[in-house]
């Protein structure tokens, strides 16, 4: 039988590299790693193989035991074999001394002008950039400034990757140190958090949508009462229901059928449905009131995050709610939270 492997090797500048292998049900994971090494030159210890989102860590199991059938696709993430979580690191005495790798300055940087033209020609992409990176969106009409911001972001990402690699090498120089063990455990936990966040964004994208609070006028026993209702802008998937209605596939909420004319019920006119969130005009901003320094300092901080980190992300263009959510997901790491907000 045949399987397809999607290899992600960001350190070497390769992404979405597809290869096809001839395998058999009795083949073990260890043999599969050797076959991948023969085809892609990726060391077996650096291969993190995923099947349906699950890491294949037991090299003794066969493809039949893992329920890998003909025609299926597996993902292979190439990572530092000493900083990985799927395969244990080798002892320091068994490793050969390695020369430090130079920064990946030869890796081709993206063309800023091409990216700028693509964003300008795609309204959906432009709206996404506006929501995730307002500073970059504001520079779309200025090619030089846009290129500078993009190069700064790329350089910062390269420096963070190099710093992480150096830290992994430092920790593995003394693997039996208690403090190093704690730091390695923390890095593994952060990696798991990022994987869970990526899976959540892939399988439950509606959770990350923005919610608007709307008000609809309802009548109860002859009394008009304003009732608040929440509508999600990036709505969940819906299925057609009876009478032209739409039913949410996750929440089960029933959305009424659209109507161009006000309906008549019991001889009395019925008000048309409320406008969707994107058509609701923004409320007028109130006059700014002077805020004293003690009041600002006494503002309670969110649980599990540092207020200074929240203010740092807000100054970069994120709102407070998203900044707090990103810090909680990244374990109060401001650099990782910034990557989630503006580059993830």
pLDDT in tens, 15-54: 567 888 888 888 899 899 888 888 888 888 888 888 887 8
Q: Which one has a higher pLDDT value, 275 or 247?
A: 247
Residue 203 reports pLDDT greater than 60: yes
Residue 184 reports pLDDT greater than 60: yes
Tell me the average pLDDT across 299-327. 80
pLDDT band of residue 80 (cuts 50, 70, 90) is low
CA dihedral 315, 319, 324, 327 (to 10 degrees): -50
Residue 311 φ then ψ, to 5°: -65, -35
Residue 132, helix vs strand vs coil:
helix
Domains of the chain listed by start with CATH number: 2-84 (3.10.20.90), 302-342 (1.10.8)
CB 330 within 8 A of CB 340: yes
Return mean pLDDT, the chain. 73
174 strand-pairing partners: none
- C-alpha distances in Å from residue 14, one per residue of 6, 49, 66, 83, 97: 11, 16, 27, 20, 26
Q: Which one has a higher pLDDT value, 284 or 195?
A: 195
343: phi > 0 → left, psi -120 to 50 → alpha, else beta; which?
alpha
Residue 85: how many other CB atoms lie within 10 Å: 16
Q: What is the pLDDT of residue 276?
A: 55
Residue 233 reports pLDDT greater than 60: no
Closest CA to 19 of 8, 6, 29: 6
Q: What is the pLDDT of residue 92?
A: 38
Tell me the average pLDDT across 226-246. 63
CA dihedral 155, 105, 186, 78 (to 10 degrees): 130
Instruction: Tell me the percentage of the chain whose pLDDT exceeds 70.
Output: 64
Tell me the average pLDDT across 278-295. 52
Q: At what angle do helices 112-121 and 143-173 cross, to 10 degrees?
A: 120
Q: Which one has a higher pLDDT value, 108 or 193?
A: 193
- Beta pairing class for 47-51 and 54-55: antiparallel
Q: Which one has a higher pLDDT value, 256 or 318?
A: 318
DSSP annotation string for 197-240: HHHHHHH-GGGGS-EEEEEEEEEETTEEEEEEEEEESSPPPEEE
CB 170 within 8 A of CB 164: no
pLDDT band of residue 210 (cuts 50, 70, 90) is low
Spatial distance between the Cα atoms of 72 and 2, rounded to a whole number of angstroms = 8
- C-alpha distances in Å from residue 205, one per residue of 50, 210, 292: 21, 11, 40
Please name the residues in contact with 314: beta carbons below 8 A apart, sequence gap of 6 or more.
Answer: 320, 323
- Residue 24 is given by DSSP the state -
- C-alpha distances in Å from residue 234, one per residue of 71, 201, 248, 279, 331: 33, 13, 12, 14, 27
Query: pTM of this prediction?
Result: 0.29
pLDDT in tens, 125-159: 888 888 878 888 888 888 889 889 888 888 888 89
Residue 316: how many other CB atoms lie within 10 Å: 16
Residue 235 reports pLDDT greater than 70: no
- C-alpha distances in Å from residue 314, one per residue of 133, 298, 301: 12, 18, 14
Q: What is the pLDDT of residue 314?
A: 87
CB 247 within 8 A of CB 238: yes
DSSP annotation string for 271-315: PPPPPPGGGSPPPPPPPPPP--HHHHHTPPPPTTS-HHHHHHHHH
SS3 content of the chain, % helix, strand, coil (to 5): 40, 20, 40
Q: Which one has a higher pLDDT value, 105 or 271?
A: 271
Most confident of 21-35, 173-187, 259-273, 277-291: 21-35
Q: Which one has a higher pLDDT value, 103 or 66?
A: 66
Residue 288 reports pLDDT greater than 60: no
Tokens representing 249 are 């596939």
């Amino acid at each position: 039988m045949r399987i397809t492997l999607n290899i992600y090797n960001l350190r070497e500048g390769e992404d979405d590299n597809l290869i096809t292998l001839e395998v058999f049900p009795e083949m073990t994971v260890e043999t599969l790693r050797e076959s991948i090494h023969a085809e892609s030159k990726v060391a077996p210890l650096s291969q993190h193989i995923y099947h349906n989102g699950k890491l294949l860590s037991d090299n003794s199991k066969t493809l039949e035991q893992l329920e890998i059938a003909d025609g299926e696709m597996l993902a292979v993430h190439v990572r530092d074999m000493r900083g990985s979580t799927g395969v244990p690191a080798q002892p320091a005495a068994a490793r050969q001394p390695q020369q430090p790798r130079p920064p990946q300055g030869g890796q081709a940087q993206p063309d800023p002008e091409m990216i700028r033209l693509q964003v300008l020609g795609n309204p959906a992409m432009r709206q996404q950039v506006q929501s995730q990176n307002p500073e970059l969106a504001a520079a779309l009409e200025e090619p030089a400034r846009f290129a500078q911001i993009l190069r700064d972001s790329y350089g910062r990402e390269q420096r963070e990757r190099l710093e992480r690699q150096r830290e992994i090498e430092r920790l593995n120089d003394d693997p039996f140190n208690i403090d190093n063990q704690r730091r390695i455990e923390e890095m593994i936990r952060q990696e798991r958090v990022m994987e869970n966040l990526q899976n959540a964004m892939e399988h439950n994208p509606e959770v990350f949508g923005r919610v608007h609070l709307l008000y609809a006028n309802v009548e109860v026993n002859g009394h008009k009462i304003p009732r608040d209702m929440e509508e999600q802008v990036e709505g969940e998937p819906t299925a057609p229901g009876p009478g032209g209605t739409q039913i949410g596939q996750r929440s089960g909420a029933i959305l009424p059928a659209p109507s161009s004319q006000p309906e008549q019920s019991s001889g009395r006119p019925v008000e048309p449905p409320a406008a969707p969130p994107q058509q609701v005009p923004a409320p007028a901003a109130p006059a700014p009131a002077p805020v004293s320094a003690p009041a600002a300092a006494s503002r309670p901080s969110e649980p599990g995050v540092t207020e200074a980190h929240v203010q740092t992300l807000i100054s970069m263009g994120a709102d407070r709610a998203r900044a707090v959510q990103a810090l909680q997901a990244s374990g109060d790491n401001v650099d990782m939270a910034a990557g989630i907000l503006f580059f993830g």
